[in-house]
């Protein structure tokens, strides 16, 4: 008997029910992974105007970014681990167990599946982290001392005919360490600023912005300002005379600084005062109202840009708070590329008539939160049974995985005395 009056039999019944529910949850998680694998294969998330599968899943399923990332990682590795996935389908392994079990190379599938069924998540994690696995794709051999080693760094960069930049860098070992550390720091800073999907491209651009922001001297800053030349006929060019597509022009003119220049007979005669397209005071009001990117499911709260819902350039959209909305740089770009629709009055409370509506490339409205369907029937019975891990002490030195051996050459078996004895 226990203090709260639960007897042994009740506790046993409770644990049996728990195992039953766990089996169902596991089997349903496996289904979720299968669906996500289909979505990844079909690029579904990309087509509905989102910038990453994690963003799509976290938003659609009402999950944290961490859980969404875990499910996506399993979906990507599923093919290499058919046995682990079969046990997952049968309800015998939990999502957390599977997330670890699919990390090692495919040749461990049978062994790791067996282990996952009896080890706790913590024990399994220890095995996966500490075991010196040979990766699936053989890593290239380390260069021998005789091979030439790069001692001088070289960087080349150029823009192709479409204005798309190409950068190629070969970095000496010490330079590379500096570069890599700066990139990791930058990506980490973006992550902490609320952009969990920030990758290397965002990290690199962030470093560039930060570097330009540190230019204190006014005349030097002018020299390193990126100027866009906007003509009265609406065409826009960079200093190198490269003409911008309208989508990029609109993007840059949403939240930039303009300096009016008067030109007579093709010669600039007077230069007006530079001013932000969105005045600082208006920007502060809009940022305070939106508290980050307004796109449903987006968690970025810093380094947002202020977008003109009715475009400032071309459509003469006013710089009033109802027409201004905070977007993260990626959603801002998606919109101007025509892959994310934004209409409505940004000052109205979301959900009320006339308030801002976001639409995907198919014109479907983006719902503000997860929208799970209410179950109408019990889930299908899992074919296996969930047995919780043993929970005993783990001696991880006792675990050994057999790495695949190079294929042997088989000789013909005719006249083999052992074969002959087998026949009798
Ligand atoms: Zn914009
Ligand atoms: Zn966003």
Residue 347: per-residue pLDDT: 94
Count of alpha carbons within 13 angstroms of residue 183, beta-carbon side: 11
Q: How far apart are CA 402 and CA 381, in angstroms?
A: 35
Measured CA to CA, the distance from residue 144 to residue 183 in angstroms comes to 28
Distance 344 CA to ligand 1 centre (A): 14
Q: Rounded to the nearest whole angstrom, what is the distance from the C-alpha of residue 158 to the centroid of ligand 2?
A: 29
pLDDT at 28 over 90: yes
pLDDT at 151: 67
Q: Which ligand is located closest to the Cα atom of residue 308?
A: 1
pLDDT of 413 reads 54
* pLDDT tens sequence across 312-338: 776 778 889 999 999 988 889 889 888
Check: CB of residue 71 under 8 Å from CB of residue 32. Answer: yes
Determine the distance separating the centroid of ligand 2 and the alpha carbon of 296, expressed in angstroms. 8
Q: Which residue has the higher pLDDT, 41 or 264?
A: 41
**Gap between the Cα atoms of 260 and 342, Å rounded:** 29
Pick the ligand that lies closest to the CA of residue 335.
Answer: 1
Ligand 1 center to 72 CA (angstroms): 31
Ligand 2 geometric centre to CA of 135 (Å): 35
Q: Among all ligands shown, which has an atom nearest to the Cα of 329? A: 2
364 C-alpha to ligand 1 centroid (Å): 20
Nearest residue to 336 (alpha-carbon basis) of 370, 353, 313, 368: 313
Residues with CB under 5 A from ligand 1 (ion): 254, 307
Task: For residue 216, give the DSSP letter.
Answer: -
Q: 304 alpha carbon to ligand 2 midpoint, in Å?
A: 8
CA distance 113 to 102: 9
**Res 238 pLDDT > 50:** yes
Classify residue 328 by burial, with Cβ atoms within 10 Å: 0-12, 13-18, 19+. Answer: buried
Q: What is the mean pLDDT of residues 4-31?
A: 86
Place of tokens 């400032």: 312
**Confidence band for 111, pLDDT divided at 50, 70 and 90:** very high
Q: What is the pLDDT of residue 391?
A: 75
Distance 251 CA to ligand 1 centre (A): 5
Higher pLDDT, 374 or 73: 73
Q: Mean pLDDT across the chain, nearest whole number?
A: 81
d(Cα 201, Cα 212) in Å, to the nearest integer? 17
Residues 139-156: pLDDT tens digits?
Answer: 444 444 444 555 678 888
Confidence of residue 412 (pLDDT cuts 50, 70, 90): low
Residue 34's pLDDT band, with cuts at 50, 70 and 90, is very high
Q: How far is the CA of 36 from the centre of ligand 2 (A)?
A: 22
> Looking at residue 231, what is its pLDDT?
76
- pLDDT tens for 273-301 read 777 888 889 999 999 999 989 988 787 88
Distance 300 CA to ligand 2 centre (A): 6
Residues 153-199 pLDDT 10s: 888 888 877 778 889 888 888 888 899 999 999 988 888 777 777 88
**How many Å apart are CA 413 and CA 36, to the nearest integer?**
48
Cα-to-centroid distance, 421 and ligand 2 (Å): 72
* Per-residue confidence (pLDDT) for residue 136, from 0 to 100: 66
Q: What is the rounded distance in angstroms from the CA atom of residue 74 to the CA atom of residue 106? A: 13
In sequence order, the β-bridge partners of residue 167 are 157
* % of residues, the chain, pLDDT over 70: 87
Tell me which DSSP letter residue 241 carries. Answer: -
pLDDT at 417 over 50: no
Ligand at shortest distance from the CA of 331: 2
Tell whether the model's pLDDT for residue 107 goes beyond 50. yes
Residue with tokens 């007077």: 270
State phi, psi for 325 to the nearest 5 degrees.
-145, 145
pLDDT at 135: 67
How remote is the CA of residue 274 from the centroid of ligand 2, in Å?
28
Measured from the alpha carbon of residue 304, the closest ligand is 2
CA of 35 to the centre of ligand 1 (A): 34
Q: Which of 87-96, 174-183, 236-245 has the lowest mean pLDDT?
A: 236-245
With bands split at pLDDT 50, 70 and 90, how would you rate the model's confidence at 410? low
- Residues paired with 327 in a beta bridge: 305
CA distances from 343 to 81, 256, 353, 359, 397 (A): 45, 21, 12, 9, 61
Q: Are 386 and 70 in contact (CB under 8 A)?
A: no
What separation in Å is there between the alpha carbon of 331 and the centre of ligand 1? 9
- For the CA of 330, the nearest ligand: 2
In angstroms, the CA 368 to CA 100 distance is: 32
Ligand 2 centre to CA of 293 (Å) is 5
Check whether 138 has a pLDDT greater than 70: no
Could you state, in order of their start, the residue ranges of all structural domains in the chain? 8-134, 149-225, 278-359
Nearest to 228 by CA among 219, 218, 220, 238: 238
Check: CATH 1.20.1090 for 8-134? no
- The mean per-residue pLDDT over the stretch 241-270 comes to 77
């Amino acid at each position: 008997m226990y203090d709260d009056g639960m007897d042994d039999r009740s506790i046993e019944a409770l644990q049996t029910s728990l195992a039953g529910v766990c089996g169902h949850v596991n089997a349903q998680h496996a289904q979720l992974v299968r669906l996500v694998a289909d979505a990844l294969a079909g690029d579904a998330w990309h087509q509905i105007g989102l910038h990453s599968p994690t963003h799509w899943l976290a938003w659609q399923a009402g999950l944290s970014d961490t859980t969404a990332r875990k499910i996506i990682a399993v979906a990507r590795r599923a093919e290499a681990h058919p046995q682990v996935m079969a046990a997952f389908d049968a309800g015998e392994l939990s999502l957390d167990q599977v997330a670890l079990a699919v990390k090692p190379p495919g040749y461990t599938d049978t062994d790791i599946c067996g282990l996952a069924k009896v080890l706790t998540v913590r024990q399994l994690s220890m095995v996966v982290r500490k075991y010196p696995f040979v990766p699936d794709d053989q890593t290239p051999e380390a260069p021998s001392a005789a091979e030439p080693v790069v001692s001088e760094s070289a960087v080349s960069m150029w823009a192709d005919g479409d204005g798309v930049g190409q950068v190629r860098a070969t970095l000496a070992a010490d330079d590379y360490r500096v570069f890599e550390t700066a990139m990791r720091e930058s990506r980490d800073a973006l992550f902490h600023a609320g952009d969990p999907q920030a990758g290397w491209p965002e990290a690199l651009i962030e470093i560039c912005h930060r570097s330009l922001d540190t230019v204190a001297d006014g005349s030097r800053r002018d020299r390193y300002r990126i100027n866009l030349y906007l003509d009265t006929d609406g065409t826009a060019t960079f200093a190198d005379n490269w003409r911008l597509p309208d989508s990029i022009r609109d993007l840059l003119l949403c939240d930039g600084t303009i300096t009016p220049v008067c030109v007579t007979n093709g010669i600039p005669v007077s230069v007006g005062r530079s001013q932000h397209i969105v005045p600082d005071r208006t920007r502060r009001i809009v940022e305070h109202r939106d508290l980050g990117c307004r796109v449903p499911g987006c968690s970025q709260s810093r380094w947002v840009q202020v977008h003109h819902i009715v475009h400032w350039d071309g459509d003469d959209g006013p710089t009033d708070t109802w027409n201004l909305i905070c977007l993260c740089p990626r959603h801002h770009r998606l919109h101007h590329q025509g892959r994310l629709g934004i209409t409505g009055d940004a000052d109205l409370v979301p959900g009320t008539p006339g308030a801002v509506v976001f639409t995907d490339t198919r014109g479907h409205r983006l719902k503000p939160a997860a929208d799970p369907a209410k179950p109408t029937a019990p889930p299908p019975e899992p074919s296996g049974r969930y047995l919780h891990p043993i929970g005993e002490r783990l001696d991880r030195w006792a675990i050994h995985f057999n790495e695949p051996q190079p294929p042997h050459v088989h000789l013909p078996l005719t006249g083999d005395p052992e074969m002959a004895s087998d026949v009798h």
